Protein backbone atom coordinates (compact mmCIF):
# COMPACT_ATOMS: atom_id res chain seq x y z
CA UNK A 1 0.00 0.00 0.00
CA UNK A 2 1.72 3.14 -1.21
CA UNK A 3 2.00 5.99 1.24
CA UNK A 4 1.00 9.58 0.68
CA UNK A 5 2.61 10.86 -2.46
CA UNK A 6 3.51 14.44 -3.20
CA UNK A 7 4.94 15.94 -6.34
CA UNK A 8 7.01 17.61 -7.26
CA UNK A 9 9.45 17.13 -4.39
CA UNK A 10 11.21 20.34 -5.27
CA UNK A 11 9.75 23.29 -7.11
CA UNK A 12 11.51 26.49 -8.10
CA UNK A 13 9.49 29.49 -9.21
CA UNK A 14 10.24 33.11 -9.94
CA UNK A 15 8.29 35.84 -8.22
CA UNK A 16 4.90 36.30 -9.86
CA UNK A 17 4.64 32.77 -11.24
CA UNK A 18 2.15 30.13 -10.15
CA UNK A 19 2.98 27.07 -8.09
CA UNK A 20 0.91 23.89 -8.16
CA UNK A 21 1.55 21.24 -5.55
CA UNK A 22 -0.05 17.83 -5.82
CA UNK A 23 -0.94 15.31 -3.17
CA UNK A 24 -2.23 11.78 -3.66
CA UNK A 25 -3.54 10.41 -0.37
CA UNK A 26 -3.12 6.84 0.75
CA UNK A 27 -5.49 4.38 -0.86
CA UNK A 28 -8.82 4.45 0.90
CA UNK A 29 -8.20 7.84 2.52
CA UNK A 30 -10.68 10.55 1.66
CA UNK A 31 -9.48 13.24 4.07
CA UNK A 32 -6.57 15.50 3.17
CA UNK A 33 -4.74 18.13 5.21
CA UNK A 34 -2.15 20.63 3.98
CA UNK A 35 0.53 22.07 6.25
CA UNK A 36 3.29 24.59 5.66
CA UNK A 37 6.64 24.61 7.41
CA UNK A 38 8.60 27.82 7.23
CA UNK A 39 12.33 27.71 8.07
CA UNK A 40 13.01 27.13 11.78
CA UNK A 41 9.30 26.74 12.51
CA UNK A 42 6.86 23.92 13.11
CA UNK A 43 4.22 22.77 10.69
CA UNK A 44 1.26 25.12 10.42
CA UNK A 45 -2.18 23.88 9.44
CA UNK A 46 -3.48 25.41 6.22
CA UNK A 47 -6.56 23.57 5.02
CA UNK A 48 -8.61 20.41 5.49
CA UNK A 49 -10.48 18.89 2.58
CA UNK A 50 -12.71 15.96 1.89
CA UNK A 51 -13.55 14.81 -1.60
CA UNK A 52 -14.97 17.81 -3.48
CA UNK A 53 -15.33 19.84 -0.27
CA UNK A 54 -13.22 22.34 1.64
CA UNK A 55 -14.06 21.76 5.29
CA UNK A 56 -11.68 24.14 7.06
CA UNK A 57 -9.43 26.68 5.35
CA UNK A 58 -8.79 28.81 8.40
CA UNK A 59 -5.01 28.48 8.02
CA UNK A 60 -4.89 29.56 4.40
CA UNK A 61 -3.70 33.06 3.53
CA UNK A 62 -6.68 35.05 2.30
CA UNK A 63 -5.19 35.84 -1.09
CA UNK A 64 -3.30 33.89 -3.75
CA UNK A 65 -3.74 30.48 -2.08
CA UNK A 66 -6.39 27.93 -3.00
CA UNK A 67 -6.87 24.21 -2.57
CA UNK A 68 -9.05 21.56 -4.08
CA UNK A 69 -9.64 17.83 -3.78
CA UNK A 70 -11.64 16.72 -6.80
CA UNK A 71 -13.68 13.57 -7.04
CA UNK A 72 -10.99 12.06 -9.23
CA UNK A 73 -7.30 12.81 -8.99
CA UNK A 74 -4.98 14.31 -6.45
CA UNK A 75 -5.50 17.22 -4.13
CA UNK A 76 -3.97 20.42 -5.46
CA UNK A 77 -2.57 23.35 -3.50
CA UNK A 78 -2.27 26.33 -5.81
CA UNK A 79 -0.30 29.47 -5.08
CA UNK A 80 -0.73 32.33 -7.52
CA UNK A 81 1.77 35.14 -8.02
CA UNK A 82 4.30 33.62 -5.64
CA UNK A 83 6.48 35.85 -3.46
CA UNK A 84 9.73 35.05 -1.66
CA UNK A 85 7.87 34.60 1.62
CA UNK A 86 6.05 31.60 0.12
CA UNK A 87 9.34 29.65 0.13
CA UNK A 88 8.71 26.76 2.49
CA UNK A 89 8.12 23.04 2.74
CA UNK A 90 4.51 22.10 2.08
CA UNK A 91 3.30 18.83 3.55
CA UNK A 92 0.16 16.93 2.78
CA UNK A 93 -1.35 14.39 5.17
CA UNK A 94 -4.26 12.03 4.78
CA UNK A 95 -6.48 10.03 7.07
CA UNK A 96 -9.16 7.42 6.44
CA UNK A 97 -11.71 8.99 8.73
CA UNK A 98 -12.71 12.52 9.65
CA UNK A 99 -11.79 11.78 13.20
CA UNK A 100 -8.79 9.74 12.27
CA UNK A 101 -6.43 10.15 15.17
CA UNK A 102 -3.37 9.57 13.07
CA UNK A 103 -2.52 11.53 9.98
CA UNK A 104 -0.13 10.01 7.48
CA UNK A 105 2.24 12.52 5.94
CA UNK A 106 3.78 12.72 2.52
CA UNK A 107 7.44 13.62 1.98
CA UNK A 108 6.62 17.25 1.26
CA UNK A 109 7.25 19.68 -1.56
CA UNK A 110 10.00 22.20 -1.03
CA UNK A 111 9.08 25.42 -2.81
CA UNK A 112 11.78 27.95 -3.53
CA UNK A 113 10.83 31.35 -4.89
CA UNK A 114 13.64 33.24 -6.57
CA UNK B 1 0.55 32.87 19.19
CA UNK B 2 2.50 29.65 19.73
CA UNK B 3 0.02 27.32 21.43
CA UNK B 4 2.42 24.37 21.49
CA UNK B 5 5.95 25.10 22.61
CA UNK B 6 9.10 23.05 22.51
CA UNK B 7 11.65 25.21 24.25
CA UNK B 8 14.67 23.02 23.55
CA UNK B 9 15.64 23.24 19.90
CA UNK B 10 18.21 20.48 20.31
CA UNK B 11 19.23 17.66 22.62
CA UNK B 12 22.24 15.34 22.65
CA UNK B 13 22.17 12.02 24.45
CA UNK B 14 24.55 9.08 24.71
CA UNK B 15 23.43 5.81 23.17
CA UNK B 16 21.72 3.62 25.76
CA UNK B 17 20.71 6.52 27.99
CA UNK B 18 17.29 8.07 28.36
CA UNK B 19 16.14 10.90 26.07
CA UNK B 20 13.53 13.24 27.51
CA UNK B 21 11.83 15.68 25.18
CA UNK B 22 9.54 18.28 26.65
CA UNK B 23 6.53 20.16 25.39
CA UNK B 24 4.23 22.80 26.87
CA UNK B 25 0.87 23.96 25.62
CA UNK B 26 -1.38 26.88 26.39
CA UNK B 27 -4.77 25.89 24.97
CA UNK B 28 -6.72 24.02 27.67
CA UNK B 29 -9.15 22.82 24.98
CA UNK B 30 -6.58 20.44 23.51
CA UNK B 31 -7.74 16.90 24.19
CA UNK B 32 -5.34 14.80 22.16
CA UNK B 33 -1.57 14.95 21.97
CA UNK B 34 0.83 13.37 19.53
CA UNK B 35 4.53 13.03 18.91
CA UNK B 36 5.89 12.89 15.40
CA UNK B 37 9.38 12.03 14.29
CA UNK B 38 10.92 13.58 11.20
CA UNK B 39 14.03 12.70 9.26
CA UNK B 40 15.54 15.18 6.80
CA UNK B 41 13.78 15.34 3.42
CA UNK B 42 10.91 13.19 4.71
CA UNK B 43 7.48 13.90 6.09
CA UNK B 44 6.71 13.52 9.79
CA UNK B 45 5.95 9.98 10.97
CA UNK B 46 3.52 9.34 13.78
CA UNK B 47 5.26 7.98 16.86
CA UNK B 48 2.94 7.88 19.85
CA UNK B 49 -0.12 9.68 21.18
CA UNK B 50 -2.07 10.23 24.36
CA UNK B 51 -5.61 11.24 25.11
CA UNK B 52 -6.29 13.92 27.70
CA UNK B 53 -8.08 11.35 29.89
CA UNK B 54 -4.79 9.52 30.44
CA UNK B 55 -1.53 10.56 32.03
CA UNK B 56 0.75 7.95 30.50
CA UNK B 57 1.00 5.90 27.35
CA UNK B 58 3.75 3.44 26.57
CA UNK B 59 4.80 1.80 23.32
CA UNK B 60 8.02 -0.17 23.44
CA UNK B 61 10.91 2.17 24.10
CA UNK B 62 8.66 5.24 23.89
CA UNK B 63 6.55 6.62 26.71
CA UNK B 64 4.56 9.83 26.71
CA UNK B 65 3.56 11.50 29.97
CA UNK B 66 0.84 14.11 30.25
CA UNK B 67 0.46 16.56 33.13
CA UNK B 68 -2.76 18.43 32.43
CA UNK B 69 -2.55 20.73 35.41
CA UNK B 70 0.85 21.95 34.25
CA UNK B 71 -0.12 21.80 30.57
CA UNK B 72 3.01 19.80 29.98
CA UNK B 73 3.87 16.60 28.22
CA UNK B 74 7.09 14.74 27.71
CA UNK B 75 8.41 11.95 25.56
CA UNK B 76 10.83 9.46 27.06
CA UNK B 77 12.95 7.21 24.88
CA UNK B 78 14.69 4.37 26.71
CA UNK B 79 17.21 3.19 25.71
CA UNK B 80 18.15 5.75 23.10
CA UNK B 81 19.58 4.45 19.83
CA UNK B 82 21.50 6.23 17.06
CA UNK B 83 18.55 5.62 14.71
CA UNK B 84 16.43 7.78 16.99
CA UNK B 85 18.38 10.83 15.83
CA UNK B 86 15.75 13.00 14.19
CA UNK B 87 13.58 16.05 14.78
CA UNK B 88 10.69 15.35 17.15
CA UNK B 89 7.53 17.40 16.93
CA UNK B 90 5.01 17.65 19.70
CA UNK B 91 1.48 18.23 18.44
CA UNK B 92 -1.95 18.76 19.92
CA UNK B 93 -5.51 18.86 18.68
CA UNK B 94 -9.05 19.68 19.63
CA UNK B 95 -11.39 17.11 18.28
CA UNK B 96 -14.11 18.89 16.37
CA UNK B 97 -15.18 16.19 13.99
CA UNK B 98 -11.70 16.11 12.55
CA UNK B 99 -8.17 16.45 13.85
CA UNK B 100 -6.87 19.95 13.28
CA UNK B 101 -3.37 19.54 14.59
CA UNK B 102 -1.17 22.28 16.04
CA UNK B 103 2.53 21.53 15.96
CA UNK B 104 5.42 22.71 18.10
CA UNK B 105 8.64 23.95 16.53
CA UNK B 106 10.48 20.67 17.06
CA UNK B 107 13.46 19.36 19.02
CA UNK B 108 16.42 17.94 17.16
CA UNK B 109 17.64 14.84 18.99
CA UNK B 110 21.12 13.53 18.42
CA UNK B 111 22.00 10.15 19.90
CA UNK B 112 25.73 9.75 20.12
CA UNK B 113 27.09 6.21 19.65
- pLDDT at position B9 is 93
What is the arithmetic mean of pLDDT over B17-41? 94
pLDDT at position A108 over 60: yes
Whether residue A42 and residue B89 make contact (CB cut-off 8 A), yes or no, is yes
Using a CB-CB cut-off of 8 Å, the residues of chain A touching B41 are: 107-108
Q: Which of A71-80, A96-105, B67-76 has the least mean pLDDT?
A: A96-105
CB B36, CB B86: distance < 8 Å:
no
Chain A residue with CA closest to B37: the answer is A105
pLDDT, chain A, mean = 92
Assign B65 a pLDDT band (cuts: 50, 70, 90). Answer: very high
Best residue of A39, A57, A103, A104 to probe chain B, by most B CBs closer than 10 Å: A103
pLDDT at position A1 over 90: no
B41 in contact with A, Cβ within 8 Å: yes
B37 in contact with A, Cβ within 8 Å: no
Q: Which residue has the higher pLDDT, A9 or B100?
A: A9
Whether residue B97 and residue A44 make contact (CB cut-off 8 A), yes or no, is no
Residue B22 pairs in a beta bridge with B74
Q: How many CB pairs under 8 A join A and B?
A: 61
Q: What is the C-alpha separation between B51 and B96, in angstroms, rounded?
A: 14
Q: How far apart are the first and last CA of chain B?
A: 38
Assign B96 a pLDDT band (cuts: 50, 70, 90). Answer: low
Whether residue B89 and residue A43 make contact (CB cut-off 8 A), yes or no, is yes
Cβ neighbours for A114, distance < 8 A, ≥ 6 positions apart:
A12, A13, A14, A15, A84
What is the SS3 assignment for B20-64?
EEEEEECCCCCCEEEEEEECCCCCCEEEEEEECCCCEEEECCEEE
- Of all residues in chain B, the percent with pLDDT exceeding 70 is 96
Amino acid sequence: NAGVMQNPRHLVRRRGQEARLRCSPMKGHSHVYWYRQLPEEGLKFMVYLQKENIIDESGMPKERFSAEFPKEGPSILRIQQVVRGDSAAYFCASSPLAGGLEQFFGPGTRLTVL
Amino acid sequence: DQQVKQNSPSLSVQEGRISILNCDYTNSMFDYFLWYKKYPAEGPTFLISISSIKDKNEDGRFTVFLNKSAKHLSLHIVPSQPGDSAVYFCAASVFGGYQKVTFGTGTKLQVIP
